[in-house]
Structure 1
Amino acid sequence: MRTTRRAAALLAAGALTVLTALPASAHDELTAVTPEPGSALTTAPQELELTFSGQVMDIGHQVQVTDSEGRSVTDGPLETVGNRIVQPLADAGPEDETYQVVWRVVSSDGHPIEGTFAYEVGTGAEPSPGVSPTAEVPADQAQNAADRATSGAAPLWLVAVGGAAVALAVLGAVSIASRRRRRG
């Protein structure tokens, strides 16, 4: 009987420890892009697709696709489909063009992630003087969205209370099982 109580107490303490530990969060990663970075296409694509390792938050997405003159070739709002973001693109321009892509999204852990790459259509084109091939996406909107997302996280005290409740439930179940064995 004493052994059962000790086992129940150890089980409850272990459950409390495991359940109150804060989970480690890892940023999502870009796992696939269509068209692929550095690719040379024969015709301009109708859309740009970014695929991530997890479902990114549906806030603060930004994707800029510009030609060698620095003109935007995006056409319409971004679409979020599971772990993919799709940016429709305008009709094809010149046959030979280099497109720069700058993207920024909010990872499922609430932190912004970003990147840049280029792809070519035909033989590509050199950027015009004064056009930066890796223009920065304004960060304030995505950062503000990330701040709002993480401010909704459960406070530590709530996690601790939840863990304690589960530990007490486990302790109660072990106690009831112990009593039933003694009766039987």
Structure 2
Amino acid sequence: MKTMLFSILAALLLFVPNAAAHTYISETTPQDGSTVTENVQQVVLTFEGKIEEGSTFKVIAADGTAYTPQSITLVDGVLTGTFEPALPNETYTVKWDTISQDGHPLSGEFGFTVNAPVEEQVIEKEEESTEQEAAPSVESTQQANDEDAEKSTSPLLLVGGLLVIIIIVSIVALAKRKKA
């Protein structure tokens, strides 16, 4: 009888919604998959909730060159990396590693392409050296991150599968016990 109650409790737990306190990325600048026609000196990752110090990211060009931000700031779930000089025209993948508020490590990636006019880059670099100002920032846009949602349900599916196996074994054991 205890086995049957345990099985029922386990089955009920399968239907409890995922209440994990993981924090996933909600917005990036530049936007995932976008082609940016301005100089990119900042990459901004905005998360749904708070993330902890020690969260970081790097930008990797299609040729494998890795660009580490000159500085990274974290304010209220917004992770900002600054690059000096601006990222050259190229296709990039941003790989991020964060620590969610509940202490779990999370990671992911997104990509974008920089295709700024070369003449403007030279002019802006000259202006920067005389005025010591940063290049204009890139527009922020919303993105859906299906990869993160998929990662958050994987452990739930594993636990659910294990619970189904336990329920089946419990039913078989009860059936054998009644026959004996």
Question: Scaled by the length of structure 1, what TM-score is found?
Answer: 0.49
Which structure shows the higher strand fraction?
Answer: 2
Find the structure with the greater CA-based Rg.
Answer: 1
